[in-house]
Structure 1
Amino acid sequence: MTEDPRVQELITLKTIAETMNQSNDITLMLNTVLEKLLELTGLSAGWIFLSDQTGEFECVADLHLPPGLLYADKMPMRCGPCWCLDRFWSGRLNKAVNILNCKRIENAEEYSWGDTMGITHHATVPLRSGDRQFGVLNVGFPGKEHFSNDELSLLQAVAFQIGSAIDRMRLYAAEQRRAHQFARLGEFSRALGAAAGSTAEPERLTALIVTLIKEHLDWPFAAILESTPGGSFILRAIHGNEQTAKPNTQFTLPDNHWLRKVVRDRQISAAAPDERARLADIEGFQGLLPAALTSVQAAPISLISAPSGGILIVGSELSRQRDCISSADGEVLEALAEHIAIALDGSLLELNRRELALLEERNRLARDLHDSVSQMLFSLSMTAKGVESLLTNNQQKAALSSVRDIQSLSKDAQKEMRSLIMQLRPIGLEAGLLTALQKYGERLELTVRTQAAGIRELPRHVEEGLWRIGQEALNNVHKHAGVAEVEVTLVLNSSTAVLRVSDKGRGITQKRRLAAASTSIGLSSMKERTEALGGQITITSKSRSGTTIEVFIPLPPK
């Protein structure tokens, strides 16, 4: 210290304040401030640890460390606790103090890591801003075993300045990251919406979700757990180390496990270092949990379809000390869990709707069988009985006519059965949707003219849905239009598939069409299938002017 400590103190504080306003990067600022502090105070070495109350720490700045502390790429500064950090973690370091000796220096001497340049002691100052504590500042000088009150007061004032600067920079970094993460969350939401439209299976959707988290957010690790009513968990999907898996492994956790608290309290929770390490013991996590994770957080997924809910776990490789991600990521994580819950609930509802549509389809086919094939078979039975009677009475000519009726009825029954079988099993789609509809129309004795615009591959469920809708439309032409010609058009682009079925038949009036919409199983079936695919259907028809059915289906990105 100089001979005029008051003047030197003012110069030091002024210089430090000017230095801290030159950068928003914490590491750069701390190294620059440490250099200025040692230069102005005449001390020879210093280092700064940033730490929280979890027992983790990071040496983010150091200057003129003796060789003994530089051993093995500064291993003594990265590993193991020391007396100053122990006091900091236990809450006993509230102001600048003299440390009698330095444990890291003692270790360097004991294990012959290198020369300590005569430094045996250092002063330790907590870095804080209000109630928030960020770490410790250590400074030393060869042969110096004691710091005066004036020296400690100056170091304390500098530490307050550093703490305020760290607080400001962390708040700024948190706001920057929050804005960045919410922007990425918007991208994730759009990608998830497109993905949810192309798959209704929850198992596939959960695997897609954890992959999208890696692609659109700064979390290289993500996992989705399902909480069962019995209290156990099922690992549905996990992404880590550039791999995605669907283990579907079931496991139990102790009552005091932090993940149980997430489910019980319905709140976001961060894993302590030991809890983070124990995740690797869970079946299904092995090999997929990155070793470099510095932060793991979990958020509850509240599902309407599953009261027990689930858990979203994400992991970050960013340093919490330098980037202050906890608060910013927590808000994004909470919003992300809500997006995922909506997507999974929608997926389960879509599955239920498809099951209901299948049930309705079975009921319709049962009615069709009863109204057509069953009646034909009954007529066959009665006609055959009449033939038996005629033959008994030697009325061969009348019997021959009845036999011909039997043949005709059997052909009609066979034709009707083939039509119903085609509706159950879409044979011919491998040749393309338009070709399949054209062949189906030919079986109905219709001349189908097809037209296509645009080329792209349709998702299987979209193609099958359009096939069913087109089938029903052709059936309506066959039964009601009174014409033998129909035009089928398929228009494809990057985001939409449009199927149009037009005829120039009888058509129907607006009044009759509105009445049919509530009673016609065929029209209801087309509408339900279209809505199940997230699309819209329009029916344009005029009496004696024909009918056009147009279906718009959104397509996921290629």
Structure 2
Amino acid sequence: MKTQMEKNQKINPVFELDWYRDVIEFAPDTYNIIDKEGTFLYTNSRSSTENPEDFIGKSIFDYFLPEFALMVKEKLDHVYESGENDHYELATDYGGGPRRYYMTNLAPIKREGDVVAIAMYIRNISELKVAQIELSNLNQELEDRVLKRTLALQEYAKRMEITEKLSIGLRHARNLAEVLQLLGEQFKNTFRVDVAGIYEVQDEHHLNLSLNLNPEINPPSKLTPFSDKFFFSLLNENQIRIAQIPEQQHQDCQFCEFIHQNQMRTLVLAPIRATSAMVGVIYMAFRQSTVISTDDEQLMRSFIEAGGNTIQRIQAMQRLEQNIKNRENELEVLYDIMSTASETIDLDELLQRILKRILQAVNCGIGIIHLIEDNQIIKKIQIPETLPPEFKSGVELLRTQTTNIEDLFLDSQYQFWDIPKTNLNSLSALIRSKGKILGVISLIGECLNKNDLEMIHLLSSIADEIGLAVESTRLRKQAQESLIFEERQRLARDLHDSVSQSLYGLVLSADISKKLLKLKEFETLEETLKDIETFALQSLREMRLMLFELRPLSFESEGLSGALELRVNTVERRAGLKTSLDIIGEELLFSPLDLEIYRIVTEALNNALKHSNASQIHVSIHVDEEFNQCVLKVIDNGAGFDLETNRVGGIGINSMKERAARVGGQLIVETKEGFGTVVHFICPLRPEKLRKS
């Protein structure tokens, strides 16, 4: 069968092969025909240096970069073997100039079903390829930036997570040791160090090992500027220091010896600060030379700041707790002193007990209280009484200073001084009351510090309490002396108004009896002797009453019935008066009603004893819970009196009525001359129930 081209050639000579050749030769792209080995059989390539005929017989592999040769060979083999189209891209710098890129399509040329040659259609894609390369590079750069940013964010998130975990741990830390433990473990785990630990600052010249995170090795337990000059030369209180360890060990450096023994190459020192002071140093060491990045250093700094803030918080809480404890101790001491001062005891014993309590509170050796008057020491209390020789100069200094007290305490309520030729100090505070200087309290010992404001404040407060106690004791003594004087005056008046009058009447009657006896007026003498008997008996009664009143009342222990029974047994019955008591329901009485009833009864008995000349007295007390009332009656068979002439309420009646009113009751006196007297008192058991009814 003839091909279409052969048919066309027979029909029209124009359809000869050369017509297609003309089309190809003048085509804008390159068109080649090659054999299986890549040899040019035909080309329309035009070059400034070569004609198309110059390419014939040459290999296409000479015109592109060698790295593409294998790929091109495989493509050609594929087209020959499969008879299918293929394509590839490659670059060349043939002929000089910049690299150029070409897109090549391959098509098999067949004869009788076999591939006898390959047609190559080549297009210059340099501009497109350069644009693609630039776009690819741009994409790659963008991806690199995104990746870098992503990694940075991941690292930041990781560090934030690490920092948050540390913060949570630090929030639960209760003391410095727990904070240092958390920081040490965080540093070791985060930065993967080989050796790590923490030294705690003891003072400016000593660092003590507080934490060793590598139990298998033993770092020095204590560092000083003298034994570890190199370590302290690296230490900067405000900065993290990173040092590469030299191969030659530094002399006079315990820590250097430790580092070299464990073959460390890089050392990091990170100071821990709290409240503007360094409290510790974290050391980290690496066996490989290690570069610490800026980010790592910043993370270290954040760890240290978090730890420092926590330590500062703990220190603040400890100071607050200590202040609270100190205040509680001060209040306890002041309360004890106030409690002691309120007791009615001798002044010397009072000062002894106060001074002993102070020394116990401040843990100091010696305490002295000087009370002064007109610049003269009038009393000295000292604990202990016997002093070691070294304390005697201090006590003598206090004695001499105390005599010039106003000049010594011109500007302050306390004074602090060193005792010459000793290691002792003395702290003194003024004892004052109402602006008047009463004395000085002083402490002596090595325990005192002039900067201990809490101690000074406590001693000053105690001195004020001592001033109040001394003044209170003096006022109490004055009051007691005044009461004694007033009691003596009352006794004198009572003796003058009662016993002395009876005795005077007794003397007059005796004198009259003597005269009547001489005159032998026996009838009149008998009456006078009866008067003598009456006066003597009245004097006896009044003396027994006065003796009873001088006794201390034990009402709380005796109770109402017991106290009244004691009264009538001691006074009325011994004075010859028939006295009866009738008390029902005493257990229902509450205080102070029972005491007021006792006072009313005794006042009524006193009146009967002194003024009624009675021979019989009956006392009845009936308590009725159902009617919420108490009824009291005191009945005597004495002379009685005229209420009209005693309208004002003499002979103790006013006193009884006042007592009755205090417990919400009412007191009525029924009497008449020659018919005795009845004192009637009624009151509610509970005043509020009476008001409601």
Alignment partners' CA distance in 2, 1:102 and 1:327: 46
Q: Any idea what SS the aligned residue of 2:173 has?
A: coil
Greater mean deviation of Cα atoms: 343-352 or 408-417: 343-352
Secondary structure of residue in 2 paired with 1:485: strand
Distance 1:355 1:124 in 2: 76
2:558: which partner in 1? 432
- Give secondary structure in 1 for the equivalent of 2:502: helix
The residue aligned with 1:21 is 171
User: Which of structures 1 and 2 has the larger relative contact order (alpha carbons within 8 angstroms, sep 6+)?
Assistant: 1
Alignment of 1:123-272 (within 5 A): 125=271, 127-130=273-276, 133=277, 136-140=279-283, 160-173=305-318, 199-201=343-345, 226=369, 228-229=371-372, 234=381, 252=395, 265-266=412-413
Q: Which one is further off, 172-181 or 23-32?
A: 172-181
Q: Which amino acid aligns with 1:478?
A: L
2:183 to 15, 20, 33: 33
Q: Distance in 2 between matches of 1:334 and 1:50?
A: 33
What is the correspondence of 1:330-409 to structure 2 with a 5 Å cutoff?
A: 353-409=479-535
Q: Aligned pair 1:411/2:532, yes or no?
A: no
Offset, 1:547: 3.9
2:546 aligns with one of 404, 420, 433: 420
SS of the equivalent of 1:201 reads coil
Shift of 1:345: 6.8
1:210/1:66 CA distance change after superposition, 3 Å: farther
In the alignment, is the contact (CA less than 8 A) between 1:202 and 1:348 conserved in 2?
Answer: no
- Deviation of 1:383 (Å): 1.9
Count of residue pairs brought into register by the alignment: 432
C-alpha distance in structure 2 between counterparts of 1:452 and 1:305, whole Å? 53
Quick one: which amino acid aligns to residue 47 of structure 1? Y
Q: For the Cα contact (< 8 Å) 1:372–1:413, is it kept in 2? A: yes
Q: What per-residue deviation string (whole Å, max 9, x for no partner) do you get for residues 94-117 of structure 1?
A: 64699x9999979xx9xxxxxx98
**Aligned partners of 2:350 and 2:604: how far apart in 1?**
38
Q: 1:539 to 1:375 in 2, by over 3 A?
A: farther
Following the alignment from structure 1 to structure 2, what is the Cα–Cα distance between the partners of residues 551 and 305?
Answer: 50
Distance 1:543 1:470, change over 3 A: closer
Is the deviation greater in 419-428 or in 13-22?
A: 13-22
What are the Cα deviations for residues 480-530 of structure 1, in whole angstroms up to 9, with x where unaligned?
5897315499xxxxxxxxxx9954679xx9xx99998xx979959x99xxx
Provide, for residues 27-86 of structure 1, a one-character-per-residue CA deviation record: whole Å limited to 9, x for no partner: 4333333443455563433232477x9x9x997953359899999xxxx77xxx9659xx
**1:300–1:309 Cα contact (<8 Å) kept:** yes
1:371 CA displacement? 1.0
| Preserved CA contact (<8 Å) 2:431 2:437 | no
Deviation at 1:156, TM superposition (A): 7.3
Following the alignment from structure 1 to structure 2, what is the Cα–Cα distance between the partners of residues 101 and 155?
A: 27
Residues 423 and 303 (structure 1), Cα distance of their counterparts in 2 relative to 1, 3 Å cut: same
Which residue identity is paired with 2:564?
Answer: L
Equivalent pair of 2:619/2:632 in contact (CA under 8 Å)? no
Amino acid in the other structure paired with 1:541: Q
Residue 666 of structure 2, aligned match among 535, 541, 545: 541
Rounded Cα–Cα distance in structure 1 between residues aligned with 2:367 and 2:582: 49
Give the C-alpha shift of residue 137 in structure 1: 0.7
- CA distance in 2 between partners of 1:348 and 1:390 (Å): 60
CA change 1:47–1:152 in 2 (3 A) is farther
Query: Quick one: structure 1 residues 382 and 201, their matched pair in 2 at CA, closer, same or farther if it must change by over 3 Å?
Result: same
Code of the residue aligned with 2:198 in structure 1: it is G
Q: Is the 8 A contact 1:372 1:416 kept in 2?
A: yes
The aligned amino acid for 1:22 is H
1:245 corresponding residue in structure 2: none
Please name the residue that 2:197 is paired with.
45
Do the aligned partners of residues 383 and 547 (structure 1) sit closer, same or farther apart at CA in structure 2, a change above 3 Å counting? same
Say if 1:225 and 1:233, in contact at 8 Å, map to a contact too.
yes
Q: CA deviation at 1:367?
A: 1.5
Offset at 1:391? Answer: 2.5
Relative to 1, partners in 2 of residues 1:233 and 1:367: Cα closer, same or farther, differing over 3 Å? Answer: same
Q: 211, 215, 237: which one pairs with 1:62?
A: 211
Q: CA deviation at 1:440?
A: 0.5
Partners of 1:448 and 1:488 within 8 A in 2: no
Report the structure number with the largest CA radius of gyration. Answer: 2
Q: Distance in 1 between matches of 2:321 and 2:209?
A: 21
After superposition, the Cα gap between the structure-2 partners of 1:406 and 1:513, relative to the gap in structure 1 and judged at 3 Å, is closer
Q: 1:89 maps to which residue?
A: none
- Secondary structure of the 2:344 match is coil
CA distance in 2, matches of 1:139, 1:543: 94
Contact 1:312 1:337 in 2 (8 A): no
Residues 133-160 of structure 1: per-residue CA shift (max 9 Å, x gap): 4x6314457899xx99999998777555
Q: Please give the alpha-carbon distance, in whole angstroms, between the structure 2 residues aligned to 1:117 and 1:263.
A: 66
Looking at structure 2, the residues matched to 227 and 501 of structure 1 have their Cα atoms a distance apart, in angstroms, of 59
1:396 and 1:226, CA in 2 relative to 1: closer, same or farther beyond 3 A? same
Amino acid paired to 2:180 = L
Counterpart-to-counterpart distance in 2, 1:34 and 1:267: 48
Cα distance change on mapping 1:538 and 1:337 into 2, 3 Å: farther
Q: Deviations over 1:294-339 (max 9, x none)?
A: xxx99988655984477699xxxxxxxxxxxx99999999999988
Q: Structure 1 residue 352: deviation in Å?
A: 5.2
Structure 1 residues without counterparts, runs of 5 or longer: 85-91, 110-115, 238-250, 283-296, 314-325, 490-499, 528-535, 553-558
Change (3 A) 1:142 1:30: closer
Stretch of structure 1 that moved more, 154-163 or 6-15 = 6-15
Aligned to 1:323: none
State the shift of 1:184 in Å: 9.7
- Return the alpha-carbon distance in structure 2 between the equivalents of residues 411 and 58 of structure 1: 97
Which residue pairs with 2:109 in the alignment? none
Q: Do the aligned partners of 1:96 and 1:153 also contact (CA within 8 Å) in 2?
A: no
Change (3 A) 1:224 1:252: closer
Q: 1:539, 1:547 within 8 Å by CA — same for their partners in 2?
A: no
The one-letter amino acid paired with 1:62 is L
Counterpart CA distance in 1 for 2:580 and 2:207 is: 78
Q: Which runs of 5+ in 2 are unaligned?
A: 1-151, 227-234, 242-248, 385-393, 400-404, 444-451, 624-629, 670-678, 687-693
Corresponding residue of 2:605: 478
The letter for the 1-side match of 2:273 is L
Q: Deviations over 1:175-196 (max 9, x none)?
A: 5677788899999999999x68
Q: Is the 8 A contact 2:430 2:437 kept in 1?
A: no
| CA distance 1:158–1:411, shift in 2 (3 Å) | same
The separation in 1 between residues aligned to 2:291 and 2:410, in whole angstroms, is 53
SS at match of 1:543: strand
Letter in 2 for 1:414: L
SS at match of 2:381: strand
**TM superposition score normalised by structure 2:** 0.43
Change in Cα spacing, 1:305 to 1:93, as seen in structure 2 (3 Å) is farther
* TM-score, L = length of structure 1: 0.51
